[in-house]
């Protein structure tokens, strides 16, 4: 049932605790690529997932994001650049904006559509070699989203997505997210690459994870909003990362 599935998804969410480094890549219709290096860390704290994202290279594109997605209540996104007087809260109206002109938006980094009130298990299907649950998520009035619906193909074993389709409220266009390199480490599933594209529209964007550490025990202080405006360091993140 959808209730049992939601309970399993909540357990997966409550296990969030990782570090990762990688690249955000914008692929033009011509095939030309623009690459941004990034680091990510995330952890579940007392009913809320916090995500800290840093674009570290190239220098002109450097920016930090702090995203918080509680199990109950409104999500928030804050951003900052080194040397700013203070962090800035990204208003909901801007959540649908592209991150560094890629197909990923601020909202896509939240990945909180399973927190919406309306979830429907529409059936079971196969995607490639994987048996999947097909789940349709629809935001209601108090669910903040620029999407009208999100349909997820969830691997039955891991409940990790292998494909997600998000339909925009504004245009009705559908964005397709494909997950590659699914792997399990310390009981936690992840993907080494996420591709997003709009069918019929040339070009795509990639989020490629090259190193990561699950159950990283990320400290609460590493999600302090004051870090959004601190000078950048060239030192790699801590933990015990491994190659993906």
pLDDT tops 60 at residue 224: yes
What pLDDT does residue 235 have?
43
pLDDT tops 70 at residue 213: yes
| Average model confidence (pLDDT) across the chain | 91
73 pLDDT tier (thresholds 50, 70, 90): confident
pLDDT in tens, 160-169: 999 999 999 9
pLDDT tops 80 at residue 182: yes
pLDDT tops 60 at residue 39: yes
Reported pTM:
0.90
What pLDDT does residue 156 have?
94
135 pLDDT tier (thresholds 50, 70, 90): very high
Higher pLDDT, 74 or 207: 207
What pLDDT does residue 238 have?
40
pLDDT tops 50 at residue 82: yes
What pLDDT does residue 201 have?
87
What pLDDT does residue 237 have?
43
Task: Please give the average per-residue pLDDT across 150-176, as a whole number.
Answer: 95
Task: Please give the average per-residue pLDDT across 202-206, as a whole number.
Answer: 94
What pLDDT does residue 234 have?
57
What pLDDT does residue 141 have?
85
pLDDT tops 70 at residue 205: yes
Task: Please give the average per-residue pLDDT across 180-186, as a whole number.
Answer: 87
DSSP the chain: -HHHHHHHHHHHHHT-EEEEEEEEEEE-TTS-EEEEEEEEEEEEETTEEEEEEEEEESGGG-EEEEEEEESSS--EEEEE-TT-SS-EE--GGGTTSBSTTSS-BHHHHH--GGGSSEEEEEEEEEETTEEEEEEEEE--TTS--SEEEEEEEEETTT--EEEEEEEETTT--EEEEEEE--EEETTEEE-SEEEEE-TTSS-EEEEEEEEEEES----GGGG-GGGGGSPP--SPP-S--EE-
Distance (Å, rounded) from C-alpha 82 to C-alpha 63? Answer: 8
- Tell me which range, 63-67, 154-158, 181-185, is most confidently predicted by mean pLDDT: 63-67
pLDDT in tens, 234-244: 544 443 443 43
């Amino acid at each position: 049932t959808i209730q049992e599935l939601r309970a399993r998804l909540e357990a997966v969410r409550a296990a969030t605790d990782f570090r990762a480094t990688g690249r955000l890549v914008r692929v033009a219709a011509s095939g030309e690529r623009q690459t941004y290096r990034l680091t990510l860390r995330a952890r579940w704290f007392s009913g809320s997932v916090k995500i800290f994202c840093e674009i570290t290279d190239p220098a002109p594109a450097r920016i930090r994001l702090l995203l918080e997605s509680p199990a109950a209540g409104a999500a928030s996104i804050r951003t900052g650049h080194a040397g700013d007087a203070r962090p800035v809260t990204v208003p909901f109206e801007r959540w649908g904006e592209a991150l560094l002109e890629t197909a990923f938006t601020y909202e896509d980094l939240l990945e909180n559509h399973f927190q919406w009130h309306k979830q429907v298990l529409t059936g079971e299907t196969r995607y490639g070699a994987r048996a999947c649950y097909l789940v349709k998520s629809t935001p209601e009035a108090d669910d903040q989203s620029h999407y009208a619906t999100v349909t997820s193909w969830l691997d039955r074993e891991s409940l990790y997505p292998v494909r997600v389709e998000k339909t925009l409220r504004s245009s009705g266009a559908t964005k397709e997210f494909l997950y590659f390199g699914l792997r399990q480490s310390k009981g936690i599933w992840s993907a080494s690459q996420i591709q997003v594209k709009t069918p019929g529209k040339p070009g795509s964007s990639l989020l490629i994870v090259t190193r990561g550490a699950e159950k990283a025990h990320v400290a609460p202080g590493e999600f302090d909003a004051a870090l959004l405006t601190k000078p950048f360091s060239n030192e790699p993140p801590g933990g015990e990362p491994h190659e993906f």
